[in-house]
Each structure stands twice: as structure tokens, then as C-alpha cells.
Amino acid sequence: MKKLFHSLAPLAVLAACAFGAQAADYPAKDKVITIVVPFAAGGPTDRVARDLAEAMRKPMGGISIVVDNAAGAGGSIGANKVAKAAADGYTLLVHHIGMATMPTLVRNIPFKVESDFEYLGAINDVPMTIIGKPALPANSYKELAAWIEQNKGKINLGNAGVGSASHLCGLLFQNALKTDMTPVPYKGTGPAMTDLIGGQIDLMCDQTTNTTSQIEAKKVKAYAVTTSKRLTTPALKDLPTLQEAGLKNFQVTIWHGLYAPKGTPADVQKKLNDALKVALKDPDFIKKQEGLGAVVVTDKRMEPAEHKKFVAAEITKWSPIIKAAGVYAD
Ligand code: ASP
């Protein structure tokens, strides 16, 4: 046995050197970093990831950063893809509040949010809006509430699948109104938005990063925001909060974070976090995000350990709310 250890020792040293060299050379000029987005192209998570990829490119030494939309199952297909990817810093995940709500909303997800990822930091906070198809007769939240009451059992509600943010918001909305709507799942709220504009679905609750430009262009009707305060973005500033519209304690804010597979070398994580922090201070990135109602993170959640603590706190916060509302699914 002793002999075997002796013969393996040089191999272990070699492996450690190779691994160390890889981390020191990171990011290699001939490689590409892929950010996996667990929803369809053209939606809000996709939007954040593409803007972030652009802003991180320079601080990552000019390397190509591309987006891979691994959409489906409310965001769990993409997250699982990253959980199982090589931990070399070339596959990353941008995901939203689903990292914290999915473990309670969906009972059987194929990965562990707390132990299958390295947390690289938070990106932004994004309000949600309640929006409707253009042909809806309601022109205010009050009229929408009356229309929902009159059309009980006939209304459908688009979402990005079980476990997504639009699923969570839609379930809380139905729960608060004590009404059931028919869910229509999509691979992301980008394609759901196309159908809402086309009138194939009636309502949706979605991030302002997807809805602001459609509200501005009057392609959809907007009724309320899910934050506790009204927003200042010009196209959204006249919308009431759901709380002031009478839905007590209704408050949902979506946040996004950046993750790598568990086991990504510490110095690679540090390079990625440094680049993330540069991106979060990039005036172009901030301007794009603010124009869509999002607030770029400037607080301690930029730090991986703080973001991890924040996600753990969000799991603790949302779990009883979801369970009490009885809104989870298998
Ligand atoms: N907004 C979506 C959600 O409901 C996801 C997306 O398409 O970005 O989770």
C-alpha cells in the first residue's frame, strides 16, 4: 500500500500543478465563457444576462462571453445544466429569485441550490408589473379587479413555467384575489409576451425589464406594480402598487445573481467577482437597467458570501409564504 501511495504522489503533484496553471491562465484567450440563462431568449432574465455579458467582457480581458438559453421546467433545466457543468469558470448561470423560491415551489428539483453552486454575487433588483392583453376592457386596476370578478373561471394567465417568478407572482395574485386562473406555461416570458400582445393569453405578472418597453409602446395594458412603493420610471410611475390597490402585504421584487458550478477554483471565482463588480459600476449597464425599472446592486450583496447569505434569507422568507398560500407544485 505504501508503495502505491509513493507511485501516486507525483501524479497528484502534476494534477495540482495543471489545475493551478489553468486557474492562473484564466480566462484563456482562445476560450469562450458561456452564461446559461434558464429561460427563453427575449425575456427579462435573458436581457439582464446579455447586458451583463457585454459589461463583463472588458474586465474579463476581452474574452467572448455568450448566452446559452437552456430554457424549460420553470428555470430548473438551465440551473441543473450549470450545476453539472465543468467547474472551470467557462460555464456560468444567471438566475433570479427562483434560486430561493423554487426549492419550496417545486418539490423535486434535480439540484441543490445551497450546495451545487459557487455564488459570485447579486446583479440587480427588479419590480414586477401586472399586465393584460391590449383588448382587455379594463383601463385601471379597479376595473381589472371588477373584470376578474365577472370572468371567474374564464381567465388565463401566462407564466414561464412552474417555479418561475411569473408563476410565483401569478399564484400569489390569484391567492390574494381568491380566484383561480388557468396557467399557460411558456419557456420564458419573452414568448409569453408575444402571445399576450397577440391576445392569446389574458394576463401576466412579469419583470419591468420585459414589460416597460411594451407598456411604453401601449402594446399591453398595465395595471399595477408589485413593489411596496410606486416606481419612478416614466412609463411606470402612474401605476398603483398592489398594496395601495387593496392587496394587503403583496410585495414581490425579483433579484438576479451570478453563479458558477461548485468546485470552481477560488482564484477563478475571484476574477469573476472582480469583473462582476466592474460591470455593476459600468454607467452604460446602469443606464440600460434603470431605463427598464431595475436597480443595479451597489450594496454588500456584490460580495459572494453576502449574496449567499441573502439567498439563504430569501429561502427562509419565501418558504412559509409559499406554504401558507398553498401555492407549491410537484
Ligand atoms: N420572467 C420570467 C419568470 O417568470 C423568466 C424569463 O423569461 O426571464 O421567471
Range of the domain at 56: 27-126+254-325
Query: Is residue 132 domain-shared with residue 116, that is, in the same domain?
Result: no
Say which CATH number the domain at 40 has.
Answer: 3.40.190.150
107, part of any domain:
yes
Task: Note whether residue 6 is domain-resident.
Answer: no
Phi, psi for 118 (deg, rounded to 5): -95, 130
Average pLDDT over all residues of the chain: 91
Same domain, 216 and 259: no
Residue 142 CA, ligand 1 centroid: distance in Å: 26
Q: What is the dihedral of CA 136, 75, 170, 242, to 10 degrees?
A: -100
- Same structural domain for residues 114 and 180? no
Mutate which of 166, 184, 226 for ligand 1? The one with the most ligand atoms within 8 Å of its CB, which is: 166
- Best residue for ligand 1 mutational test, from 94, 125, 164, 184 (most atoms within 8 Å of Cβ): 164
The contacts of residue 75 (CB under 8 Å, 6+ apart) are 38, 39, 45, 95, 96, 98, 102, 160, 161, 163, 164
User: Which ligand 1 atom sits closest to the C-alpha of 188?
Assistant: 7
Distance 254 CA to ligand 1 centre (A): 10
Q: Residue 4's pLDDT is what? A: 42
- Does some domain include residue 288? yes
- Residue 280 sits in the same domain as residue 307: yes
User: Residues near ligand 1 with C-beta < 6 Å?
Assistant: 39-40, 43-46, 159-160, 164-166, 188-190, 206-207
Nearest atom of ligand 1 to the alpha carbon of 98:
9
Q: Which atom of ligand 1 is the closest one to the Cα of 186?
A: 7
Task: Output the pLDDT for position 18.
Answer: 42
Ligand 1 center–CA 256 separation, angstroms: 11
Q: What is the structure's pLDDT at 327? A: 66
Q: What pLDDT does residue 48 have?
A: 97
181 domain-assigned: yes
Q: Which residue's alpha carbon is at the smallest distance from atom 4 of ligand 1? A: 166
Same structural domain, 43 and 107:
yes
* 78 CA from centroid of ligand 1 (Å): 12
Adjacent-strand bridge partners of 203: 132, 157
pLDDT tens column, 57-83: 999 999 999 999 999 988 999 999 999
Q: How deeply is 278 buried, as exposed, middle or buried, from its count of CB atoms within 10 A (0-12, 13-18, 19+)? A: middle
Same domain, 266 and 191: no
Closest ligand 1 atom number to CA of residue 168: 4
**115 and 258 both lie in a single domain:** yes
pLDDT at 24: 77
Distance of CA 325 from the midpoint of ligand 1 (Å):
21
Atom of ligand 1 nearest to the CA of 43: 7
101, 141: one domain: no
> What is the structure's pLDDT at 105?
86
Same domain (yes/no): 63, 121: yes
pLDDT of res. 316: 94
Distance 158 CA to ligand 1 centre (A): 11
* 2 part of a folded domain: no
CATH number at residue 150: 3.40.190.10
Is residue 247, in this structure, part of any structural domain at all?
Answer: no
306-314: long-range contacts (C-beta < 8 A, 24 or more apart)?
Answer: 306/122, 307/119, 307/120, 307/121, 307/122, 307/257, 308/119, 310/122, 310/255, 311/99, 311/100, 311/113, 311/114, 311/119, 311/257, 312/114, 314/97, 314/99, 314/100, 314/101, 314/255
Residue nearest to atom 7 of ligand 1 (CA): 188
- Count up the domains in the chain and report the number: 2
How high is the mean pLDDT in each 10-residue block of the chain (330 residues)? 42 42 80 98 97 98 97 93 97 97 86 96 98 97 96 96 92 92 96 98 97 96 96 94 92 97 97 98 96 95 97 93 74
The reported pLDDT for the residue numbered 75 is: 92
Distance 165 CA to ligand 1 centre (A): 6
Give percent above pLDDT 70 in the chain. Answer: 92
Q: 106 and 165: one domain?
A: no
Residues 141 and 217 both lie in one domain: yes
pLDDT at 106: 84
Residues 311 and 277 in one domain: yes
> Ligand 1 centre and the CA of 95: distance in Å?
9
